Amino acid sequence: MSLFSDKFFKSNETIFPLSDTVALPSHQNIGWTQHRADALIGLVAMAWGSSYLLMKVGLGAIPPFSLIALRFLIAFFAVSLLFREKIKQTTPRTLLRGSILGLFLFGLFAFLIHGMQTTSTSNAGFLTSTTVVLVPVFHALITRRLPNRPIVIGTLLTMTGIGFMTLQQSMTLHSGDVLCLTGAVVYAFHILLTADFTKKEDGLLLGIWQLGFAGLYGLICTMLFETPTLPAAPSQWMAVLGLALICSAFGFVAQPMAQKYTTPEHTGLLFSLEPLFSALFAFLFLQETLTAKGYFGAALMMAGVLVASASPEKKAAQTAQN
């Protein structure tokens, strides 16, 4: 069953309460709440947490832009085939906004992958996770409205937890650190733009086209700056397909669909669970364990997300528009 099918969202009401439901356009008459949207974004964070395991398994020999191109082009064609009828509803405005989101998505991974070549994994994880702080800060500047207290407390707890969990040595800003931090800034704007665009466009179509454009930008850069490279071993192909179908096709299509019904602050905080899921997968499949400091950080992160999720601020239920 497709994760995007109507049945996926018609879950038992004891799990996803149907208060404050929102009517989706035309044939997609699915009840959405902020709790449902937050749950789906949590699943996206889990999918993205698995990407570190997949990259460790099979992507060491693939150049950065080639990896981006393969990951997102495979994801785009897979999702386009799955939603071939839906994609016929694409308008020039949808393409334009999808190309913008795709550019920011490409920028995130371009900065992150190149940055990780010259900095430690701990530094990269911590710096990229500053998106959790950047989203509410940028959102507050744009809307000229301060985040409410639970969001502020949740953000501080989560960022402190990320520090305990990932920062294993003193941090000094090398070139790789600057690139990862730049990627976090790009990612924060991607989240904010997605929140804005999904008010005016179909979230599913935006998610599909951002994959295609991110892959196209990666392919262009591959041709300009690299020698195109394909995976050499079956394990590498399995890793690429996992990244494409689970982390990209599911993750970056589900994100704009769900983000339409929650706040940018909640989105950023829930995505901060990504390193927690990454550590969990590493423990289950690679027998890697956390230090006592790491477990304490994980607990702080969970506390931060729970505090922010208890915020009385709810996104007003609106009728989705194509």
pLDDT (0 to 100) of residue 153: 87
pTM > 0.85: yes or no: no
d(CA 84, CA 81): 5
pLDDT (0 to 100) of residue 105: 94
Structural tokens at position 275:
């390193």
pLDDT (0 to 100) of residue 291: 75
pLDDT (0 to 100) of residue 16: 28
pLDDT (0 to 100) of residue 170: 57
What b/e readout covers 104-132, taking b as 16+ CB neighbours within 10 angstroms? Answer: bbbbbbbbbbbbbeebbebbbbbbbbbbb
DSSP 248: I
Residues in the chain where the model's pLDDT stays below 50: 1-30, 313-322
All structural domains of the chain with their residue ranges: 31-309
User: Counting runs of H as helices and runs of E as strands, what totals does the chain give?
Assistant: 14, 0
Structural tokens at position 201:
């466009």
Give the Cβ contact number of residue 175 at 10 Å.
12
pLDDT (0 to 100) of residue 205: 92
Q: Residues 184-239: pLDDT tens digits?
A: 899 999 989 988 898 888 888 998 999 999 999 999 999 999 888 888 888 888 88
pLDDT (0 to 100) of residue 18: 26
Which residues, 6 or more positions from 167, have their beta carbon under 8 angstroms from its beta carbon?
122, 123, 126
Which residues, 6 or more positions from 297, have their beta carbon under 8 angstroms from its beta carbon?
160, 161, 162, 163, 164, 165, 166
pLDDT (0 to 100) of residue 13: 31
pLDDT (0 to 100) of residue 212: 96
Structural tokens at position 59:
């992507």
